[in-house]
Structure 1
């Protein structure tokens, strides 16, 4: 498809975001313990060693596409060098992930409020400048997979900071302005799981409908993972 799910339909998205943020309330913590809003993710955390091994194997066999490959409009606003591998996007699976990231895909498909599940890679010195997520109907869970020990990257959400740790997860409200500060000499690798923001009945129904409409964008994200396999010398 042409365009971007982050940019197209800006007027409608502004209205729905207003509804979602109003339903969420004025006091919206930026960094949230996962047990309070996403207890189901404990199932993923218990298989962390397996998930970490799957991600390691993935990176040895596949060149992970850059953001600009599948969403050049949004990438120009955030980062064209951010690398992403989508196992699950707007409720649609990447079939390759059944063998490449089976733990992550199984969790996504078995957890009803999951929207997206993917691997996020920032190469050394690649930052993400200040921005907000364009859609306020989700919260975002981060799980550290491979984090540089020296000068580890950190994320700023408004005035709060979080530094990733391997095997540790947390939930971030990325409707707040946020940026990644990365001065490390090794890649930062995390797993991200987007899930529906907990809200009242009306806002939740609207959110489900909007996310269902976004399913049309899934192919351009999951298909990008299929065409760049490393070939042994």
Structure 2
């Protein structure tokens, strides 16, 4: 069990007391942290192995777009998003950083990120440079506080090894921006490809793996949204905890 799971629990207890929240309204989160305090995800055979596993949430590797009505507007905004992506440098944006997991997950190639949000931290300069992208992202629930939002850029001949996201309280969307032949992603036992201007949604707490076998780069707009079954108070508590977990998981960012 990762030490940060237990180390972060007092922060949630303090938040509950300060906010005068009825603990019974957060049973799912409290139970999830309790179970996750002794689980060893690395030793499990399941294809869904987050370090924090909240019980009672629908678990499926790929999500149908009908659950997310905002996808229509997202795809309609593709042209503007793609223009802003190119304006900040496209496949080689000057302000992009090496993805924090690149060192341990990118078995070959290069994986970079142009961040808008990272576990509750915003990047105002990047947001200001992409106002139309920001406007489109204002509709989905949780883009700024449920996890990550960035232009994800994979260099040629890049392979990101199998891994699981750290919590099942969110789902992840990819909007294809630059999609050469040879790009694909496996989630659980199903592999899919991207299409420019089209969105796909998956649960990153399931094991997933990514390839770009092309001789040119691949880019998507990647962002997390809250799991559709979370309550408002659960989302409030988790939004706070994302800022706490960032200090444990991404101390250098």
For this structure pair, what is the TM-score category when the shorter chain's length is used for normalisation? 0.7 to 0.9
Q: Is the 8 A contact 2:171 2:227 kept in 1?
A: yes
Match of 1:46 among 40, 51, 76: 76
1:105 paired residue number: 134
The equivalences for 1:15-94 within 5 A come to 17-19=52-54, 22-25=55-58, 28-34=59-65, 36-59=66-89, 62-67=94-99, 71=100, 74-79=101-106, 81-94=110-123
Structure number with larger C-alpha Rg: 2
Instruction: State the distance in 1 between where 2:137 and 2:218 align.
Output: 22
Q: Is the 8 A contact 2:177 2:197 kept in 1?
A: yes
The equivalences for 1:161-200 within 5 A come to 161-200=191-230
1:230 paired residue number: none
Instruction: State the distance in 1 between where 2:230 and 2:64 align.
Output: 20
Instruction: State the distance in 2 between where 1:88 and 1:48 align.
Output: 19
Q: Is the 8 A contact 2:154 2:217 kept in 1?
A: yes
Instruction: State the distance in 2 between where 1:206 and 1:182 align.
Output: 36
Unaligned runs of 5+ in 1: 1-6, 225-233
Instruction: State the distance in 1 between where 2:153 and 2:53 align.
Output: 31
Change in 2 beyond 3 A, CA 1:110/1:173: closer
The number of residues matched between the two structures is 202
Match of 1:123 among 134, 155, 167: 155
Unaligned runs of 5+ in 2: 10-32, 38-50
2:4 paired residue number: 9
Secondary structure of the corresponding residue to residue 45 of structure 1: helix
Instruction: State the distance in 2 between where 1:199 and 1:123 align.
Output: 35
Secondary structure of the corresponding residue to residue 170 of structure 1: strand
Secondary structure of the corresponding residue to residue 192 of structure 1: strand
Q: CA RMSD in A?
A: 2.8
Secondary structure of the corresponding residue to residue 60 of structure 2: coil
Change in 2 beyond 3 A, CA 1:8/1:187: farther
Ranked by relative contact order (alpha carbons within 8 Å, sequence separation 6 or more), the top structure is 1
Secondary structure of the corresponding residue to residue 52 of structure 1: helix
Match of 1:205 among 215, 225, 233: 233
TM-score (normalised: structure 1): 0.75
TM-score (normalised: structure 2): 0.69
Q: Is the 8 A contact 2:179 2:219 kept in 1?
A: yes
Structure 1 residue 77 displacement after superposition: 3.1
Instruction: State the distance in 2 between where 1:91 and 1:105 align.
Output: 15
Instruction: State the distance in 2 between where 1:153 and 1:146 align.
Output: 10
